[in-house]
Chains A and B, each alone.
Chain A
Amino acid sequence: MKVSKSAKAFRLLIAGAFAASATVLPISNGFAAGEVRGAKCNVEGESTGTRVDSLVCKKNSAGRLVWTTIKLSSSNLKPVKAFKAPKGSIEFWHWRNEDRAYFDKIIADFEDLNPGVKITQTISNSADYQATALTKARSNPKAALFTTFRGSQFNQAAVAGFYTDLTNEQFTKRNVISSMMGSGQYEGKQLGIPYQSLFNDPIYNIKIFKDEGWKLPKTFNEWIGYCKTAKAAGYIPMAWMGAFPPQAGQIINSALMNTAANENALKKQVSDIDTGKTEITTKWFKDMAQKYADLRDAGCFPPNPKSVTEADGNALFATGKSPILPTGTFSMGGVRNLNPAMKGNMGVTGMNWTNDVNATYTGITNNPFIMGINKNAGKREQKIARAFLSYLLQGEVAEYYAKNSAQHVTVLGVEYDDVDLRNTQTIMSERLILAPRFIFLNKAVSDAAEAALIEIVGGESVDKALEDGAKKIKQILNK
């Protein structure tokens, strides 16, 4: 069979076109994602992960946003591999029941790598955990790996000498983001490893903001304006959960963050209330409380706000009745469970309660879920816990946890390809402060102070709510 010259040429042309498309298209796709060092990026703070070659969107010397590599660990050495565990069994104490299945998988893999090791999760709800876990775990030699909340619980365990010092562990130096380790430090020692990296207050519905043509508010007056606009459009501006104080109190983080000139001054003024040196009727607290009343009067909160439970609040947000969920990234998993369509539709922003766009802080972060090794556990159990902790601090293990739990982690070597985790990273470009709510170390006092603010949202006058709250705090401190 003869083939004409023109047919040959045509075939060559097709083959050439195919070869060119096969090689060029993937490259162009790579460029389309734009995540190449030195290339232009759009959202300051967005990052591709915590690997050595991960990129972060940062301004260069010319003030242009470009993809940049940054050093996240305190060491130049590669992350250390997981240790081998001796045979035996331990308990892993925490409160995140929603993570049970992911930890089960991680534990099963660890047990496969370490035959003869058995790790059991001991989980209680967060309230019970806060109240009783330390007491129970202290007298339990098997409770070798335990977690604490940031603030009063971590402090209590640290004061009691409950932790094994992890300062000189190689995984502390080489496997984690050093700037996120502060909440696990006490008197200069690294007693616990904060595992999660959260961003609090608030999450917003990207689609509603886009469809309505709203911009994210940047000042307090803009927030007031947003509430009025959203309410007029038929939304409940903020799905605030007044019947569930632990979540209702989340916005105090934003309320507190710029009430002092700097973080040290903020710590002092909060500690003064915590210890009874000043009362919540003091000027700075009263000014802050007045803003709760302003938000209330602008219609920011749901009707009957003190009746809204955590389930109600999440449902209001997940069903699109409310564009703002004033909690934090830790709620995203729950929202996605309620409405899978919310995947990829959640962003996190800061809530600046001042009218200064250049305020010291514009967003909240937190590093809770602090993992520590129980000093009172048996020596063998401590070794198993140390090995398991080193395993949890492996990039691929932490990445599995991050993807499934929809939480950012403090571990190096993680790549975030979950759409919600990527979306919420934009907050990294804000000026962040570690959630100031946890500066309070006396939980009864902080609860009473937050309860006074909840009363204001519920309709009480600022003066009356603060006077009642101050009296309650005095009585708690028996003054």
Chain B
Amino acid sequence: MENKTETGALRGASLRSEVRLKKKRRLADVNNRTFLLMTTPAVLVYAVFFLYPTLTNFRYAFYQWDGFLDAEFIGLNNFVRAVTNDDVLIKVLGNNIEFSLLVVIFQTSLALLFAVYLVKNTRASLALRTLYFFPTILSSVSVALIWQFLYSPNFGPINTFLRSVGLDFLALPWIGSETITLRALAFTQVWFHTGQMVVIYIAGLQQIPKELYEAAEVDGASRWQQFKSVTWPMALPTTAVVMAYTTIQSFRAFDLIFTMTSGGPNDSTSILATRIYLSAFNDLQFGYAATQSIFLVIFIVVLTGLQRRVFRAKDQ
């Protein structure tokens, strides 16, 4: 009898757990279905607009194609050409590094400097912050056209002013020289985006506890010592963000450079992005452009990897 009761209780318990399990499974199924339903659109968008073009780009890297007639499979020829037989690509890589370094160094330093002076929420600070941020809201093509006019050798206000005050020797060919133009473009890029970085820095600096400055002041630290020992180390995570963002921005300066110089004169201002565009849409070498874009990806991965490593080491 006892056995029977035990068996019945056991069966009841197993039945209950089975029901619970079934319920769980059903819930899991519903969850799975909901999960699938919710993620499918995003996955589809990702697949159609990112994955497919990326894979297609990889495929085209092995073809010779003018963008119109039939593509011809040429194996690794495009890669061999890029590595061994393209001086322009090497030059462009150099330009890219110089441009990025100039922009990252000057944009980050200026942004930090302005942020330190504008960190307090006074009326003057707020007004200046708005003023510095203003270029950021302009479209990059507008900025490029404005600066193209400013740099114009014959009608540009910069050279006109320099000549009017007798500084003719400083009236340089800002957008027509192989030595100056890349720097002039970097200056424009810095002018364009510094305001944005100031805002990021100010947000970071306002998180630094005031007590640290008070303690430093009690210890008799000068403003420079306060900056060196408090502001700079505490702003390091923000600096990492600013630098990463600035680096990516400098790689995406295509519209600015293309509108102002189209990579000229003599490829001296071409960066990888403009070179890829010109290879594809001007030279009609779509396969080779696809190969170069793979190099661009590798370049960005290596560079950001290096940056992260440097900041991780500093953090530690």
User: CB distance A312 to B282 under 8 Å?
Assistant: no
Is B175 close to A, CB under 8 A?
yes
A447 to chain B, nearest CB (A): 7
Question: Could you give, for residues 50-78 of chain A, a 1 whenever the CB lies within 8 Å of some chain B CB and a 0 otherwise?
Answer: 00000000000000000000000000000
CA gap between A138 and B67 in the complex, in Å: 11
A195 to chain B, nearest CB (A): 22
CA gap between A131 and B77 in the complex, in Å: 23
- Where chain B touches its partner, the secondary structure class is loop
User: CB distance A307 to B282 under 8 Å?
Assistant: no
Q: Which of A80-88, A92-100, A163-171, A468-476 touches B?
A: A468-476
CA gap between A303 and B81 in the complex, in Å: 38
Within 8 A of A (CB), among B60-97: 66-69, 77, 81, 85-88
Q: List, in ascending order, chain A residues with CB within 8 A of B66's CB.
A: 156
Pick from B85, B266, B285: contact of A455, CB under 8 Å:
B266
A352 to chain B, nearest CB (A): 28
A239 to chain B, nearest CB (A): 9
Pick from B69, B155, B265, B281: contact of A160, CB under 8 Å:
B69
CA gap between A234 and B280 in the complex, in Å: 43
B147 to chain A, nearest CB (A): 12
Is A451 close to B, CB under 8 A?
yes
Q: List, in ascending order, chain B residues with CB within 8 A of A451's CB.
A: 264, 266
Is B204 close to A, CB under 8 A?
no
CA gap between A306 and B265 in the complex, in Å: 7
Pick from B69, B87, B88, B152: contact of A159, CB under 8 Å:
B69
User: CB distance A307 to B175 under 8 Å?
Assistant: yes
Is A264 close to B, CB under 8 A?
no
Q: A444-B282, A447-B283, A455-B266 are in contact. Are A308 and B68 (CB under 8 A)?
A: no
Is A242 close to B, CB under 8 A?
yes
CA gap between A452 and B175 in the complex, in Å: 18
Residue of A nearest to B70 (CB): A160
Q: Give the interface centre of A130, A131, A302, A451 by most chain B CB atoms within 10 Å.
A: A131
CA gap between A155 and B203 in the complex, in Å: 58
User: CB distance B284 to A444 under 8 Å?
Assistant: yes
Is A427 close to B, CB under 8 A?
no
A155 to chain B, nearest CB (A): 11
User: CB distance A135 to B88 under 8 Å?
Assistant: no
- Where chain A touches its partner, the secondary structure class is helix
Is B132 close to A, CB under 8 A?
no
Q: A131-B280, A306-B173, A475-B87 are in contact. Are A245 and B77 (CB under 8 A)?
A: no
A341 to chain B, nearest CB (A): 18
Q: List, in ascending order, chain A residues with CB within 8 A of B189's CB.
A: none
Question: Could you give, for residues 218-258 of chain B, a 1 whenever the CB lies within 8 Å of some chain A CB and a 0 otherwise?
Answer: 00000000000000000000000000000000000000000
User: CB distance B282 to A315 under 8 Å?
Assistant: no
User: CB distance A135 to B68 under 8 Å?
Assistant: yes
Within 8 A of B (CB), among A424-479: 443-444, 447, 451, 454-455, 458, 471-472, 475-476, 478
Is A23 close to B, CB under 8 A?
no
Q: Give the interface centre of B67, B151, B177, B284 by most chain A CB atoms within 10 Å.
A: B284
User: CB distance B281 to A132 under 8 Å?
Assistant: yes
A375 to chain B, nearest CB (A): 14
Residue of B nearest to A152 (CB): B284
Q: List, in ascending order, chain B residues with CB within 8 A of A308's CB.
A: 153-154, 176
CA gap between A131 and B278 in the complex, in Å: 9
Q: Give the interface centre of B86, B176, B280, B281 by most chain A CB atoms within 10 Å.
A: B176
Question: Could you give, for residues 295-326 of chain A, a 1 whenever the CB lies within 8 Å of some chain B CB and a 0 otherwise?
Answer: 00000001111111101100110000100000
Question: Could you give, for residues 280-304 of chain B, a 1 whenever the CB lies within 8 Å of some chain A CB and a 0 otherwise?
Answer: 1111110000000000000000000
User: CB distance B152 to A307 under 8 Å?
Assistant: yes
Q: List, in ascending order, chain B residues with CB within 8 A of A157's CB.
A: 68
User: CB distance B264 to A243 under 8 Å?
Assistant: yes
User: CB distance A156 to B154 under 8 Å?
Assistant: no
User: CB distance B154 to A312 under 8 Å?
Assistant: yes
A9 to chain B, nearest CB (A): 70
Q: List, in ascending order, chain B residues with CB within 8 A of A187's CB.
A: none
Q: List, in ascending order, chain B residues with CB within 8 A of A17's CB.
A: none
User: CB distance B155 to A306 under 8 Å?
Assistant: no
Q: List, in ascending order, chain A residues with CB within 8 A of B87's CB.
A: 471-472, 475
Q: A315-B155, A316-B154 are in contact. Are A478 and B176 (CB under 8 A)?
A: no
Q: List, in ascending order, chain A residues with CB within 8 A of B68's CB.
A: 134-135, 138, 156-157, 160
Is B261 close to A, CB under 8 A?
yes
User: CB distance A458 to B265 under 8 Å?
Assistant: yes
Is A127 close to B, CB under 8 A?
yes
Residue of B nearest to A157 (CB): B68
A357 to chain B, nearest CB (A): 34
User: CB distance A242 to B69 under 8 Å?
Assistant: no
Q: A306-B177, A444-B282, A454-B265 are in contact. Are A475 and B88 (CB under 8 A)?
A: yes
Is A212 close to B, CB under 8 A?
no
Q: List, in ascending order, chain B residues with CB within 8 A of A447's CB.
A: 282-283
Q: A159-B69, A455-B266, A478-B77 are in contact. Are A242 and B176 (CB under 8 A)?
A: yes
Q: List, in ascending order, chain B residues with CB within 8 A of A156's CB.
A: 66, 68-69, 284
CA gap between A311 and B152 in the complex, in Å: 10
Pick from A128, A160, A458, A471: contact of B176, CB under 8 Å:
A458
CA gap between A472 and B68 in the complex, in Å: 24
Residue of B nearest to A454 (CB): B265
User: CB distance A475 to B283 under 8 Å?
Assistant: no
Is B174 close to A, CB under 8 A?
yes
Q: List, in ascending order, chain A residues with CB within 8 A of B265's CB.
A: 242-243, 306, 454-455, 458
User: CB distance A444 to B283 under 8 Å?
Assistant: yes
Within 8 A of B (CB), among A116-175: 127-128, 130-132, 134-135, 138, 156-157, 159-160
CA gap between A326 and B77 in the complex, in Å: 41
Residue of B nearest to A479 (CB): B85
Q: List, in ascending order, chain B residues with CB within 8 A of A159's CB.
A: 69
Is B148 close to A, CB under 8 A?
yes
B286 to chain A, nearest CB (A): 9
Question: Could you give, for residues 275-310 of chain A, a 1 whenever the CB lies within 8 Å of some chain B CB and a 0 otherwise?
Answer: 000000000000000000000000000111111110
A106 to chain B, nearest CB (A): 29
Q: Which residues of A contact B (CB under 8 A)?
A: 127-128, 130-132, 134-135, 138, 156-157, 159-160, 236, 242-243, 245, 302-309, 311-312, 315-316, 321, 443-444, 447, 451, 454-455, 458, 471-472, 475-476, 478
5 A-B contacts (beta carbon < 8 Å): A304-B153, A315-B155, A316-B154, A451-B266, A475-B86
Not counting A134-B68, A245-B264, a sample of 6 additional A-B residue pairs whose C-beta atoms are within 8 angstroms of each other reads: A156-B284, A242-B176, A307-B151, A309-B152, A312-B154, A444-B282
The 3 closest A-B CB pairs, nearest first, are: A307-B176, A131-B281, A444-B283
Q: Which residues of B contact A (CB under 8 A)?
A: 66-69, 77, 81, 85-88, 148-149, 151-155, 172-177, 261-262, 264-266, 280-285
